[in-house]
Structures are given as structure tokens and as C-alpha cells.
A = this chain, B = another copy of it.
Amino acid sequence: MKISVVKNILEANDRIAQDNRALFDEKDLTVINLMSSPGAGKTTLLEKTIDALKEDVRIGVIEGDIQSSQDAERIAHKGIPVVQINTGGACHLDGNMIRATFHEFDFDALDLLVVENVGNLVCPAEFKVGEDFKVMILSVTEGDDKPSKYPLMFHESKVLLINKIDLLPYVDCSIDIIRTEALKINPHLTLFEISCKTGEGLESWYTWLKDKVRKRRPAFIAKE
């Protein structure tokens, strides 16, 4: 009984996510669903990525938080369109919540939409929002046992950004173990080792992301 309720909720969400996806396709919009534990660095990565790409790529952001609008305010400082969703307790974003923001955006004027999910390494991985792909961040401060303990997130993600590598000298965490264990769960995972603080490794991520946007909308990014 309980299981069937959960299954129905997930199936209903998948249908709404498909509808969202159809609209994004029509608009040639690249959409990423950005996920991590609380405090792994989603908003900081987003700020850096906006700074690096905004001359070439028109970016919009949906900020998901249980409560507060601090993250949306940080993004708004970058002068790009941003909508805050407050879930009011819910531990993840779903297709309907994303859909409810559509009237706030002019999708014809965007190339990339980033959905920053609620900080949670579990539930967001179960709910599609209509994204092209999921991107997850793992901070080295969380430890190298996370892939084997939270496998779904690693399984569902296309990209794993291993963040805060500047802290490696001070924590007990092996990047090799993270890599090995994560690739065991998902051999197709693209990995980047980054530090949003020092900037190390970020250029490769920017290049990769711009390339994805360019593939969908080759006419737009003509500057390079």
C-alpha cells in the first residue's frame, strides 16, 4: 500500500517532468538540475559559473530552498533572471514546482536554465524536473565513503564535481576512493576536481558546460 503511493507519486512526477522537457526542447534550452548535500557549494559554483559564462551564455536560475531567499539574492546580484522556490518543508524540488515558475521566465531569451535543488543527497535524485542532466557536487569534507552510502545520487548524475579540494591537506579524504567508488556505481560519470575558493579545475567545467549549451544552440554562441 505504502509502496504503491510512492510509486504513483513518482510516476505522476515523471509525466509532469516530461511535459517540462518538451517545452525546454521546443525552446532549445539546456537545463541542469544541480544537487548536493547542504553546504557542498552549489550556490558558490553557480556564482562562479555565471561570472565565467555570462558573456556567451544567457543563464536563468531557479533556486530551491525549504525556506529563505538568501541564495536567490546572491544570484540576483549577478543581474540574471532568478526565481526562488520555497518548498515550505519539502526536501526536494519536483516537476510541478518547476512548472509553476515558467510564467516568470522568457525562455526565448535564455540558453541555459540552472535548477539549484534543495540541499539533500537523497531525495532530489528521485524526482526529475525536466532537466537535460543532473549535476552533483560532493565536498571533500564529506568524506570518501559517500558514493557507497548514497548511491542513487551518483547513479543518476551525469557530472560529479568534487569540490573544496583546497581543503584536502586538512581532511581525511581520498579523491582516488571517491573516483573509484563513484565510477563503480556509474561508469558514465564525468568527474571534475574543483575548488570554488581558489578556482582550481573550474575552467574544464566551464568548457564542458559551454560545449553542451553550444550543441543545442550552435547559432547563438558565435563569439568563439
**Residues of A bordering B, CB below 8 Å:** 5, 37-39, 65-68, 70, 89, 91, 118-123, 126, 139, 141-143, 145-146, 148-152, 164, 166-167, 170-171
Q: How far is the CB of A182 from chain B (nearest CB, A)?
A: 14
- CB pair A119 B170 closer than 8 Å: no
Given contacts A118-B122, A141-B167, A152-B89, A146 and B39 within 8 Å (CB-CB): yes
What residues of B have a CB within 8 angstroms of the CB of A142 in the complex? 37-39
Asked whether B167 lies within 8 Å of A37 as measured between CB atoms, the reply is no
Q: Are A149 and B70 in contact (CB under 8 A)?
A: yes
B39 touching A119 by the CB < 8 A rule?
no
Residues of B within 8 Å of A126, CB to CB, are 89
A139 contacts B39, C-beta separation under 8 Å: yes
Cα–Cα, bound, A65→B120 (Å): 14
- Listed by A's residue number, 30 A-B pairs whose Cβ atoms lie within 8 Å are A5-B5, A37-B37, A37-B38, A37-B39, A37-B142, A38-B121, A38-B142, A39-B139, A39-B141, A39-B142, A39-B143, A66-B122, A66-B150, A66-B151, A67-B151, A68-B145, A68-B149, A70-B149, A91-B91, A118-B122, A119-B121, A119-B149, A120-B120, A120-B122, A123-B123, A139-B141, A141-B164, A141-B167, A166-B170, A170-B170
